[in-house]
Amino acid sequence: MGRIKKKGTSGAAKNYITRTRAVKKLQISLPDFRRLCIFKGIYPREPRNKKKVSKGSTAATTFYYTKDIAYLLHEPLLNKFREHKSVAKKIGRALGRGEVGDAARLEKTHMPKIKLDLIIKERYPTFIDALRDLDDALSMLFLFANLPSTEHVPPKTIALCQRLCLEFQHYVIVSHSLRKSFLSIKGIYYQATIQGQDILWLVPYRFVQRTGGDIDFRIMGTFVEFYTTLLGFVNFRLYTSVGLVYPPKFNAKSDEDGGELGAFQLEGKGVNSNGELVTNGDAPKTIASAEAQAEADKVATMADTEEADTSMALVQTEEEENTEAIDTFEPTARDADILPQPQASSAEAASLFAPFTFYLSRETPKAPLEFILKAFGCKRVGWDSILGDGAFTTNESDSTITHQIVDRPTLPNSSLPEVPDAPAEVEGETPKAQWPRSTMPGRTYVQPQWVWDCVNQGKLLRPDLYSPGAELPPHLSPWAKPKKGEYDPNVPLEQQALEGEAEAFEDEEGDSAEDAELVDASPAVKGKNKNIDAIVDRESSIEAGEGMDVADTDSDSDEEDEDEEDEQAQEDEFDGFGSEEESDVSEGEAERRQHQRELEAEAAGITLDPVVPTKQSKNAEIRKKAEKKRRQEEEERERQKMMLPRRKRKLLKRIEYGTDKRDKEAEALRKKRRRIEKATAAANVV
């Protein structure tokens, strides 16, 4: 007979440990335990059976892996925490005795400093691992960079986050790594592709932030401490990979004047005097000594003309290869799946806004526009001096400006305040333009959304659609791609509507208009139909897909219900055949009567006027054909379903339920869009 095992010594009870036991085992306080777990990347775990792990207890408990806690026992940071605790006790005793000088000396000389270098190297063995985990780090640091300084968020932390974020933005600008951006309610989303890794982060809008009292800034501060160390290492590696000096030169005076990106000056072999990243052939020669310079000149003079021609041919070939567009994948069949298209290269991103000079009006968000425009090739961005330092030009009347971004509607001259008469223009002097009173000839005025939509679509869009005061097109997320059968606001209704849907909408709108006229004409009928109108409003307010869901069970009762539903479906199909035959007979009867009338008129010597089909009759004919076609397709589908086994038929039923729900939602959105377009057209006519 084997030995009887003691309960709770093996299995799940041994693999998990509660947080209280873990804190006692490590002999540290709970805040230090949380901080250590955040640094090491150890998170709570949810066991499959809590009752077994907690030995029958059902209380809410936090569990960790036992191996993770045993791994923390040998962590060097534990000694740092204990040293910090002992020095804090000495400082407290010194302050209690009134020895302020001793307390300051202890805090300055004996307080241990925690370094996370080894932890960063341990958690991210390769640089690609660090890039994959950069999404949350960037979102957290950009959030803290926009927070106001409080007792929980010191100014040093905010300044550090701002510096690291601006350094990362400079690399994205220089390398042209930015691919997409989206304006959402939460903030502005950016996506950059760095060394093959897609990095997505969120930047909040620059509103006045009010931090609530229910936020634990100690835990968030621990994450910020770890993320600042991580982003510092990543920025160093990114800068050195393109030949830049890290950290870049920082101009404190320009930063105080609101320079932000302009407060940093990049240096390195891969950057020219304008701060632009160049190739090896165009890179400036930075030779350290005079001897090296002389040796380089000697080697350069030894090159013959043939080598020069060969090198020029190679450079030309590389330029031709770089200018080639990326291949696109086109579907072979009409109903085939749409393949994901390759993204634009850095060369295409660098040339999108390269030939233009932009000027930002005072009401536009300067920081995101400057970042996006420079990341996509624009080297000349100007703004008003009140927005900060670092502008290409602060003169709104500069003749080199090709595009001006404004975010104010055009106002009539009568609503603007009066200004004194301007002096007569001197010959040769450039005209001055002050929006919205006057505009510069040859300059394009657009709203900020034009920049984001051009970036997401990878091409320059029509600026007249984004002119000041114009109704802007929908700004859609570049990551949410509509699937087959879903509503796509970018596609015209004629291309995605079902056959006969437009005609049915016209008939429905016509009937509703006639009903409204009848109700307005007779107050008595209006009073009687008050309850009916309420019911109609309730039916129209029901969202697509609202109602009962299909149960997901495999019991015998469900199978019986399914058999009954199949029988009912067959009966419905038979009713459909009858209705189709009746409709065919009615059409034949109408033709026979028309032919009879023609014979009678011919016998009487009367000429009948040709029957001109009305629009309503045409719509009815189109709807009949569409319904007949859909009915035939449904019958064919039902015949195919009868050949399937019961389990597969049930699975197909669930799939069809989801498909019908999606189609109803798409139809409701298309109907709503038709109403809006009809109302807009009527308003334009008036």
The closest of 462, 469, 500, 509 to 682, measured between CA atoms, is: 509
What would the DSSP string read from start to end of 198-249? Answer: EEEEEE---SPP---TT--HHHHHHHHHHHHHHHHHHHHHHHHHTTB-SSPE
* Token duo for residue 428: 């040769």
Question: Mean of the per-residue pLDDT values for the chain?
Answer: 76
Query: Burial, 58: exposed, middle or buried (Cβ in 10 Å; 0-12, 13-18, 19+)?
Result: exposed
Tokens of 395: 């003169």
Which residues have a Cβ under 8 Å from the Cβ of 650 and sit 6 or more positions away? 558, 562
Q: Which of 219, 248, 265 is the last residue of a domain?
A: 265
663 and 591 in a single domain? The answer is yes
Percentage of the residues of the chain whose pLDDT score is greater than 70 = 68
Q: Which of 40-54, 255-269, 500-514 has the lowest mean pLDDT?
A: 500-514
Looking at residue 277, what DSSP letter applies?
B
**Mean pLDDT lowest for which of 11-20, 53-62, 213-222, 231-240?**
53-62
In a domain, 288, yes or no: no
In this prediction, residues 221-248 reach a mean pLDDT of 93
- Tens of pLDDT, residue by residue over 312-359, are 443 344 444 444 445 555 656 555 555 555 566 667 777 889 999 999
Q: Note the pLDDT of residue 272.
A: 64
Residues 64, 196, single domain; the answer is no
CB 461 within 8 A of CB 482: no
Say if 583 falls within a structural domain.
yes
In a domain, 619, yes or no: yes
On whether both 62 and 159 belong to a single domain, the answer is no
One domain, residues 189 and 54: no
Q: Are residues 462 and 527 in the same domain?
A: no
The answer to whether residue 98 sits within a structural domain is: no
Within a domain: 196? yes
Task: Using CB atoms within 10 Å of the CB of residue 635, give its burial: 0 to 12 exposed, 13 to 18 middle, 19+ buried.
Answer: middle
Among candidate residues 204, 233, 265, the one where a domain is terminated: 265
Say yes or no: 515 and 460 in one domain.
no
Question: 253 CB contacts (<8 Å, ≥6 apart)?
Answer: none
The number of distinct structural domains making up the chain is 4
DSSP helix/strand/coil, 482: coil
Question: Which tokens is 682 given?
Answer: 């009527």
Q: Are 378 and 353 in contact (CB under 8 A)?
A: yes
Show Cβ contacts of residue 323 under 8 Å, excluding neighbours closer than 6 positions.
347
* pLDDT for position 668: 83
Check whether residue 442 and residue 566 sit in a common domain.
Answer: no
Its pTM surpasses 0.85: no
Taking alpha carbons only, the member of 312, 130, 319 closest to residue 226 is 130
Mean pLDDT, residues 652-675: 82
pLDDT top residue among 402 and 208: 402
Quick check: 363 and 408 in contact, CB under 8 A? yes
Q: Using one digit for the tens of pLDDT, what is the confidence trace for 247-281?
A: 999 988 888 888 889 899 888 876 665 556 554 44
Q: What is the pLDDT of residue 470?
A: 87
User: 2: Cβ–Cβ under 8 A, 6 or more apart, which residues?
Assistant: none
Q: What's the confidence (pLDDT) of residue 577?
A: 41
Task: Provide the pLDDT for residue 421.
Answer: 56
Q: Is residue 437 part of a domain?
A: yes
**Checking phi first, is residue 198 left (phi over 0); if not, alpha (psi -120 to 50) or beta?**
beta
Of 3, 12, 2, the C-alpha closest to 51 is 12
Contact 656, 641 (CB under 8 A): no
Confidence band, pLDDT 50/70/90 cuts, at residue 474: confident
For position 637, what pLDDT does the model report?
A: 80
Torsion of CA 621, 623, 624, 630, to 10 degrees: 150
Could you list the beta-strand ranges (E) of 25-126: 63-65
Q: Predicted confidence band at 553 (pLDDT cuts at 50, 70, 90)? A: very low
pLDDT at 322: 43
Model confidence at 1, pLDDT cuts 50, 70, 90, reads low
Region 185-189: mean pLDDT is 94
Average pLDDT on 75-80 reads 89
Are 45 and 134 in the same domain? Answer: no
The winner for highest mean pLDDT among 304-308, 365-369, 409-413 is 365-369
pLDDT at 531 over 50: no
Is 122 found in the same domain as 27?
Answer: no
Query: What is the distance of C-alpha 280 from the center of its chain?
Result: 35
Any domain includes 500: no
The percentage of the chain sitting over the pLDDT mark of 90, rounded to a whole number, equals: 30
Which helix (H) or strand (E) is 405 found in, with range?
Answer: strand 403-405
Residues whose CB falls within 8 Å of the CB of residue 342, separated by 6 or more in sequence, listed in order: 326, 327, 328, 329
Pair type for strands 249-250 and 197-203: unpaired
Continuous H helices in 427-467: 449-457
The model's confidence at residue 126, banded by pLDDT at 50, 70 and 90, is: very high
pLDDT score, position 573: 44
- Is-contact 192 177, C-beta < 8 A? yes
Residue entry with tokens 């291949």: 327
Residue 477 in domain: no
According to DSSP H, which parts of 484-543 are helical? 493-496, 501-521, 523-528, 530-541
Tally of CB atoms within 10 A around 657: 13
Contact by Cβ (8 Å): 382, 364? no
pLDDT of residue 555: 46
Domain co-membership, 195 together with 56: no
pLDDT of residue 414: 63
Q: What CA–CA distance (Å, rounded) separates 210 from 147?
A: 9
- Could you give the 3-state DSSP secondary structure of residue 192? strand
Single-letter residue type at 466: Y
Q: Which residues does residue 380 pair with via DSSP β-bridges, in sequence order?
A: 357
| pLDDT of 443 strictly over 50 | yes
Question: By C-alpha distance, which of 242, 143, 254, 142 is closest to 195?
Answer: 242
Site of tokens 């926009």:
146
Listed range (384-393, 403-412, 416-425, 437-446) with the worst mean pLDDT: 416-425
**Looking at the predicted structure, is the pLDDT value of residue 430 above 70?**
no
Q: Is the CB of residue 278 less than 8 Å from the CB of residue 271?
A: yes
Q: What is the pLDDT of residue 510?
A: 63
Residues 260/383, Cβ–Cβ less than 8 Å: no
Domain of 141? Answer: 117-265
- Are 152 and 61 found together in one domain? no
pLDDT of residue 257: 87
In the chain, the amino acid numbered 365 is P
Considering the domain architecture, whether residues 376 and 227 belong to the same structural domain is answered as no
Q: What is the DSSP letter of 357?
A: E
Write down the pLDDT at residue 583.
44
pLDDT tens digit string along 7-32?
767 777 888 899 999 999 999 999 99
Distance CA 42, CA 25 (A): 16
Only one residue has tokens 């997409």, namely 180
Q: Does position 385 have pLDDT exceeding 80, yes or no?
A: yes
How many angstroms separate the first and last alpha carbons of the chain? 98
Run of H or E including 131: helix 127-132
- Residue 543 above 60 pLDDT? no
| Domain stop point among 265, 282, 307 | 265
300 pLDDT above the threshold of 50: no
CATH number, residue 443: 3.40.50.10190
At residue 600, the pLDDT reads 80
CB contact at 8 A, 65 and 23: no
Average pLDDT over residues 178-202: 94
